[in-house]
């Protein structure tokens, strides 16, 4: 009985060809001739005269490829209104579940984007993000794009969850910080068609009134 | 039942006569695309999406037919899109036409991700649009009420919403206006869509044309974790679905229970859930210190303080009508085992001993059902406003009224909108004289009497109801307003009953329960009712109270209740700050309904168990906290979890022995009235100032106007006309409200106002609610 059991637990030996390999005699004739060694160093020697690919990062930084998938950016319309409508399609597309969005209604008093809806909460968790770019393909308003910025390391997990203000594109020339009204006489479809090229003075007053 | 055999896509199926082709196909698992078809609404054939090829006995219809309007017939051969290229082409054509004017705004549409149009455009539509013109646009969105928004561009004119309003809720406020390409859903411009059931049109809309203001733009279906749940708002017993994201309830939808709520629910059940996350939520235990201030304490400290205050004291227990069965059972066992008293009452409202006797003798062992309403020849409503107090009961009666002209009689103090919709025979009585009207009713053995909790407010009414049921053989059902009342009754959270309907007065019943609970004996005297408990505290006969989820201003002795809470040592188990927690000595936070599991028993006696929708809550159930206090007191109730309580309730089972006899009570004398005196009468509306509706302004926007209703005769005698204000007052206070004069809707002796609406908190202001004399004068 006990013999049977000991037989069962013993692993079955399979011929993996190892014995044949180990039985090969090791041939050791001492160092190769100098000429043969020089031939071996030829690749190293030749490379010394080639153009250097590495740079001394972080003192020197090379530009990335133009389509490099770096940190995301939430873009703005030319008058400063946000392009994000809080539709969550990016979050839906994300294979790593790295994006969290909450939408909210725009009102006449508080307008962040053209149309009815804007993204109130927008978070990307860069601990999860795999930079695949499916989110920017899903974005129906081109609000979400990727920059070439790749320096995303940090010293705590919470710092790597980027909030909306970390992701929003900076205000450029001709842009006005929302919330403010839409360009007078224009509606959301004008914005999508690219009819709005900058802010109108009346939007500035609407913005100031809201800030008071 | 006649059965008919038809062939759908080459498969034979036998279905009852009258079955629609689309439903016969469904039984085979063949999905025909559709928008307008809904199993609970009459067929209309509005969207034309379900076209199929049909041939009967070799004769084919010349064109594809809408399968949602054609019942099966013998010899019918149906070819759906799966086998007939003609049907497939027809469906694709319809889909293309539907999409011509449908905006491409799925990214901002709430329905995106759970939209029948999106899904069926994928299955039946083209990949590219051939339409090059300009889409028809409308202004968007229109608020058809404060909680429902209409986006006419998205509408596919399926008429589900208009049919629901007309056929189910009988609130025909939305209709289809115009014809052809300009056809659209419209509302009466002067009257907003004020229906108690308007949320259902949002749920059944197959596109995003109707959306709810509270959920609008807040989430996507893939964000949400759905949990089947039970509604905590009334005793109808609806099945619901709670959708939660990151610990916060975002929406609730009607669940599907053909026996109870079918696929509907009311707006309160759908939208009143924000109280759980309100700012005044209690999250930490609090203890009143020596300076008289409530301060935050640790759990061990608070439990020790509660135990010290209850140790060797004469105590009473008040558990509101909102507790789950398991929690009510915990309170019931806590009172008997730990405190050694039968002084427990779940009825936090105007009550009577007649009612308690009625509950113990008649209700606790009865099991009426919605099906009894379906089968009844006559429904008698006594002290019960179905639409306001149990809306799904209203829908069920309304269904039978529409289907077969069910006879409805209502004995009440004021004609209601629901009674008009039910075409009810309204027996108008003065408050306090219901008993005589009940006694004069003629019923048969197939009738059903639905008696509400307000019947207890008029002495003798329940006695008359019991006598009528006995005489005619009619079924009798008691329908309370709160979700937990029937469960608390079954759990014995009342002075004259132990769990399972066992009478306290029966020694065998006491031995039964004492053995199950592992104690030597149980208190044998009948316990005090809630009003008597408060009176006993004020008289010095009780020292301490354990209070779970009641509002002292729910009963007509509110001044006495508040002074009792001030005087006694009070342990309050609450979810939010309330009039009780402000005065309590120890406040213990408990889990709200979404944060715990449990069971609610509806008026039928049907239980509906639910799991916690918010799983990571740190809040504990009442049951767990009571167990911890009882352990500190050395007489443990040993019910650490909801499932342990459920198991114990099941093992105790129902009482098989003798039932308490009902002792009839004579009606009270009606008081003599002066010229400006009137008898006050009132009821709570579905949407009112109830604390479970806090934080949901969109819902409050559709509540009915706060008014005083008087008869034309009284209006003439005090000299008011419609639009004037009247002042209703007594020794405690006065309320001024606009008056509505209704012919034949109210007794000349009576004045009606809502019990707890904004501007009309009559129990807090007047300290009475029904049958009391008040002065009504022009303001």
**pLDDT range class, residue A212, cuts 50, 70, 90:** very low
Helix (H) or strand (E) holding B574: strand B569-574
Distance, in Å, from the CA atom of B288 to the CA atom of A207, rounded to the nearest integer, reads: 49
**C-alpha closest to that of B413 among B354, B450, B349, B458:** B458
- Shortest distance between the Cα of B223 and any Cα of chain A, in A, equals 9
Does the structure show a pLDDT above 70 at B66?
Answer: yes
Look at A73-82, A124-133, A202-211, B258-267 and tell me which has the smallest mean pLDDT: A202-211
Q: How far is Cα A191 from Cα A201, in angstroms, rounded to an integer?
A: 17
CA angle B426, B413, B370 (to 5 degrees): 60
Calpha distance B598→B326 (Å, rounded): 6
- Report the residue from A87, A104, A105 with minimal CB separation from B107: A87
Give chain A positions within 8 Å (CB) of B141: 116
Q: How far apart are CA B320 and CA A176, in angstroms?
A: 55
Chain A: give the shortest CA distance to residue B199, in Å: 19
Lowest mean pLDDT among A4-13, B51-60, B391-400: A4-13
CB proximity B224 to A under 8 Å: no
Q: What pLDDT is attached to residue A18?
A: 58
A80 neighbors A171 (Cβ within 8 angstroms): yes
Contact list in A for residue B154 (CB cut-off 8 A) is none
Position A14 scores a pLDDT of 61
Query: Which among B107, B222, B223 has the least Cβ separation from residue A85?
Result: B107
A33 vs B76, more confident: B76
Euclidean distance between CA atoms B589 and B580, whole angstroms: 13
Assigned token pair, B691: 């604390």
Q: What is the ipTM of this complex?
A: 0.85
B113:A92 CB<8 A: yes
Pairing of strands B586-589, B569-574: parallel
Question: Taking Cα atoms as reference points, which of B446, B445, B404, B447 lies closest to residue B423?
Answer: B404
**Cβ contacts (< 8 Å) between B220 and chain A: which residues?**
88, 91-92
Chain B residues lying within 8 Å of A104, measured CB to CB: 217-218
pLDDT higher than 80, residue B1: no
Q: Which residue has the tokens 């705004």?
A: B105
Q: Among all residues of chain B, which has the CA nearest to that of A85?
A: B108
DSSP per-residue codes, B89-128: HHHHHHHHHHHHSS-S-GGG-TTTTS-HHHHHHHHHS-SS
HEC string of B315-352? EEEEECCCCCHHHHHHHHHHHHHHCCCCCEECCCCCCC
Tokens 């409530």 correspond to what residue? B294
Q: Would you state the pLDDT for residue B75? A: 93
> Which of A82, A85, A87, A108 to mutate: most B Cβ within 10 Å?
A87
**Chain A interface, mutation test: which of B103, B106, B108, most A Cβ atoms within 10 Å?**
B108
- Closest B-chain CA to A101: B219
Q: Starting at the edge strand that comes first in sequence, how are the strands of the sheet with A99-105 ordered? A: A99-105, A117-125, A161-162
3-state secondary structure of A197: coil
Residue (of A89, A88, A90, A70) closest to A131 by Cα position = A70
Q: Residue A43: which pLDDT band, with cuts at 50, 70 and 90?
A: confident
For residue A140, give the chain B residue with the closest CA. Answer: B107
The pTM for the full model equals 0.91
Query: Is B218 in the A-facing interface, judged by CB distances under 8 Å?
Result: yes
Q: Determine the Cα–Cα distance for residues B416 and B385; give it in Å rounded to an integer.
A: 8
The chain B residue lying nearest A92, using CA atoms, is B222
Mutate to test the interface with B, among A92, A101, A110, A143 (most CBs of B within 10 A): A92
Q: Tell which of A103, A112, A139, A189 to mutate to test the B interface (max B CBs under 10 Å).
A: A103
Among partner residues B108, B112, B218, which is closest to A116 by beta-carbon distance? B108
B115 lies within 8 A of chain A by CB: no
Whole-number Å distance between alpha carbons of A122 and A163: 6
Distance from CA of B126 to the nearest CA of A (A): 20
C-alpha distance from A198 to closest chain B C-alpha (Å): 24
pLDDT above 80 for B672: yes
Q: How many CA atoms lie within 13 A of B672 on its CB side?
A: 0
Cis peptide before B141 (omega within 30 of 0): yes
What would the mean pLDDT of B38-60 be, rounded to a whole number? 94
Q: Which residues of A touch B218 (CB under 8 A)?
A: 102-104
How distant is the Cα of A192 from the closest Cα of chain B, in angstroms? Answer: 12
Per-residue pLDDT of B621-664, as tens digits, reads: 999 999 999 999 999 999 999 999 999 999 999 999 999 999 99
Cross-chain CB nearest to B108 (options A85, A91, A92): A85
Measured distance CA(B93)–CA(A35) in Å, rounded: 82
| 3-state secondary structure (DSSP) of residue B171 | coil
Q: Are B513 and B498 in contact (CB under 8 A)?
A: yes
In order, the DSSP letters of B610-643 are E--SSTT--PPPHHHHHHHHHHHTT------SHH
Show Cβ contacts of residue A193 under 8 Å, excluding neighbours closer than 6 positions: none
Q: Which pLDDT band, with edges at 50, 70 and 90, does A3 fall under?
A: very low
Report CB contact under 8 Å: A103, B218.
yes
Chain B, 134 to 153: residues with Cβ < 8 Å from chain A are 140-141
The per-residue pLDDT for range A104-163, each reduced to its tens digit, is 999 989 999 999 999 999 999 999 999 999 999 999 999 999 999 999 999 999 999 999
Contacts of B108 in chain A (CB under 8 A): 85, 87, 103, 115-117
B248 touches chain A (CB under 8 A): no
Closest CA to B484 of B339, B596, B602: B602
Size of interface A-B (CB pairs under 8 A): 36
Rounded Cα–Cα distance for residues B505 and A75 (Å) = 76
Predicted confidence at residue B193, as pLDDT, reads 76
Bridge-partner residues for B610, per DSSP?
B598
* Pick from A139, A102, A95, A144: nearest CA to B107: A139
Q: Is B63 on the interface with A (CB under 8 A)?
A: no
Token reading at B754: 């809502």
Which chain B residue has the Cα nearest residue A88?
B220
- What is the predicted pLDDT for the residue at A27? 75
Asked if A102 and B219 come within 8 Å (Cβ–Cβ), the reply is yes
Q: Judge: B107–A140 Cβ closer than 8 Å, yes or no.
A: yes
Which 29-58 residues of chain B touch chain A by CB within 8 A? none
């Amino acid at each position: 009985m006990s013999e049977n059991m000991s037989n069962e637990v013993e692993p079955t030996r399979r011929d993996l060809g190892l014995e044949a390999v180990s039985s090969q005699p090791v041939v050791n004739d001492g160092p190769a001739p100098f000429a043969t060694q020089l031939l071996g160093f030829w690749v190293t020697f030749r490379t010394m005269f080639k153009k250097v690919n590495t740079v001394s990062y972080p003192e020197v930084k090379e530009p990335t490829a133009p389509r490099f998938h770096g940190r995301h950016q939430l873009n703005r319309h030319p008058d400063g209104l946000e392009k994000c409508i809080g539709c969550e399609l990016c979050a839906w597309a994300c294979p790593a579940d790295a994006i969290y969005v909450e939408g909210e209604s725009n009102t006449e008093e508080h307008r962040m984007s053209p149309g009815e809806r804007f993204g109130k909460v927008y978070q990307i968790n860069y601990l999860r993000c795999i930079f695949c770019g499916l989110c920017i393909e899903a974005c129906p308003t081109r609000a979400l794009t990727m920059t070439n910025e790749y320096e995303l390391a940090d010293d705590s997990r919470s710092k790597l969850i980027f909030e909306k203000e970390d992701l929003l594109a900076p205000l450029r020339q001709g842009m006005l910080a929302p919330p403010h009204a839409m360009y007078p006489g224009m509606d959301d479809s004008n914005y999508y068609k690219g009819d709005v090229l900058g802010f109108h003075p009346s939007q500035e007053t609407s913005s100031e009134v809201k800030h008071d | 039942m006649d059965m008919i055999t038809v062939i759908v896509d080459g498969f034979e199926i036998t279905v009852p006569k009258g079955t629609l082709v689309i439903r016969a196909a469904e039984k085979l698992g063949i999905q025909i695309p559709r928008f307008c078809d809904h199993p609970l609404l009459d067929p209309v054939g509005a969207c034309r999406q379900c076209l199929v090829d049909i041939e009967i006995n070799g004769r084919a219809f010349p064109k594809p037919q809408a399968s949602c309007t054609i019942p099966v017939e013998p010899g019918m051969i149906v070819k759906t899109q799966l086998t007939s290229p003609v049907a497939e082409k027809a469906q694709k054509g319809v889909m293309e036409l539907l999409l011509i004017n449908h905006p491409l705004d799925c990214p901002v549409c709430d329905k995106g991700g759970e939209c029948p149009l999106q899904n069926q455009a994928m299955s039946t539509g083209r990949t590219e649009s051939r339409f090059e013109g300009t889409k028809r646009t409308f202004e968007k969105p229109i608020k058809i009420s404060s909680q429902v928004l209409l986006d006419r561009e998205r509408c596919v004119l399926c008429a589900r919403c208009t049919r629901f309003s007309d056929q189910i809720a009988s609130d025909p406020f939305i209709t289809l206006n115009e014809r052809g390409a300009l056809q659209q859903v419209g509302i009466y411009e002067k009257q907003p869509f004020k229906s108690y059931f308007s949320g259902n049109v949002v749920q059944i809309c197959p596109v995003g044309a109707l959306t709810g203001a509270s959920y609008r733009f807040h989430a996507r279906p893939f964000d949400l974790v759905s949990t089947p749940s039970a509604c905590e708002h009334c005793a109808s017993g609806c099945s619901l679905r709670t959708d939660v994201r990151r610990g916060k309830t975002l929406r609730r939808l009607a669940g599907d229970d053909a026996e109870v709520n079918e696929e509907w629910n009311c707006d309160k059940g759908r939208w009143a859930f924000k109280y759980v996350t309100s700012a005044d939520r209690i999250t930490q235990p609090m203890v009143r210190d020596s300076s008289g201030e409530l301060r935050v304490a640790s759990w061990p400290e608070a439990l020790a303080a509660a135990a010290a205050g209850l140790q060797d004291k004469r105590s009473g227990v008040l558990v509101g009508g909102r507790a789950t069965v398991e929690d009510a059972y915990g309170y019931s066992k806590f009172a008997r085992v730990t405190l050694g008293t039968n002084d427990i009452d779940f009825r936090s409202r105007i009550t009577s001993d007649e009612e308690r006797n009625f509950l113990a003798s008649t209700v606790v062992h009865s099991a009426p059902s919605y099906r009894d309403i379906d089968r009844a020849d006559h429904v008698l409503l006594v002290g019960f406003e179905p639409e306001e107090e149990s809306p799904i009961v209203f829908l069920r009666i309304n269904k039978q009224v529409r289907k077969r002209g069910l006879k409805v009689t209502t004995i009440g103090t004021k004609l209601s909108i629901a009674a008009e919709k039910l075409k009810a025979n309204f027996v108008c009585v003065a408050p306090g004289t219901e008993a005589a009207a009940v006694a004069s009713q003629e019923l048969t053995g197939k009738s059903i009497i639905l008696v509400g909790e307000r019947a207890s407010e008029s002495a003798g009414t329940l006695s008359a109801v019991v006598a009528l049921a006995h005489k005619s053989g009619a079924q009798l059902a008691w329908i309370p307003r709160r979700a937990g009342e029937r469960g608390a009754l079954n759990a014995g959270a009342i002075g004259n009953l132990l769990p399972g309907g066992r009478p306290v007065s029966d020694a065998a019943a006491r031995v039964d329960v004492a053995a199950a609970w592992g104690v030597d004996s149980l208190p044998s005297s009948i316990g005090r009712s809630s009003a008597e408990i408060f009176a006993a505290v004020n008289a010095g006969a009780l020292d301490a109270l354990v209070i779970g989820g009641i509002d002292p201003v729910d009963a007509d002795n509110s001044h006495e209740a508040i002074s009792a809470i001030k005087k006694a040592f009070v342990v309050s188990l609450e979810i939010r700050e309330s009039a009780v927690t402000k005065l309590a000595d120890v406040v213990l936070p408990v889990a709200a309904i979404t944060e715990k599991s449990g069971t609610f028993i509806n008026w039928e006696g049907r239980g509906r168990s639910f799991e916690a929708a918010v799983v990571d809550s740190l809040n504990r159930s009442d049951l767990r906290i009571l167990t911890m206090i009882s352990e500190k007191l050395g007489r443990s109730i040993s019910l650490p979890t909801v499932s342990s309580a459920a198991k114990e309730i099941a093992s105790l089972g129902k009482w098989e022995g003798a039932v308490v006899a009902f002792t009839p009570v004579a009606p009270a004398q009606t008081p003599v009235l002066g010229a400006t005196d009137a008898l006050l009468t009132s009821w709570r509306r579905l949407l009112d100032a109830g604390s479970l509706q806090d934080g949901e302004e969109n819902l409050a926007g559709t509540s009915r106007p706060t008014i005083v209703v008087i008869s034309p005769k009284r209006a003439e005698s005090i000299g008011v006309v419609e639009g004037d204000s009247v002042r209703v007052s007594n020794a405690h206070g006065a309320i001024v409200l606009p008056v509505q004069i209704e012919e034949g809707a109210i007794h000349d002796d009576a004045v009606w106002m809502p019990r707890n609406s904004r501007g009309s908190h009559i129990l807090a202001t007047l300290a009475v609610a029904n049958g009391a004399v008040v002065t009504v004068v022009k303001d």
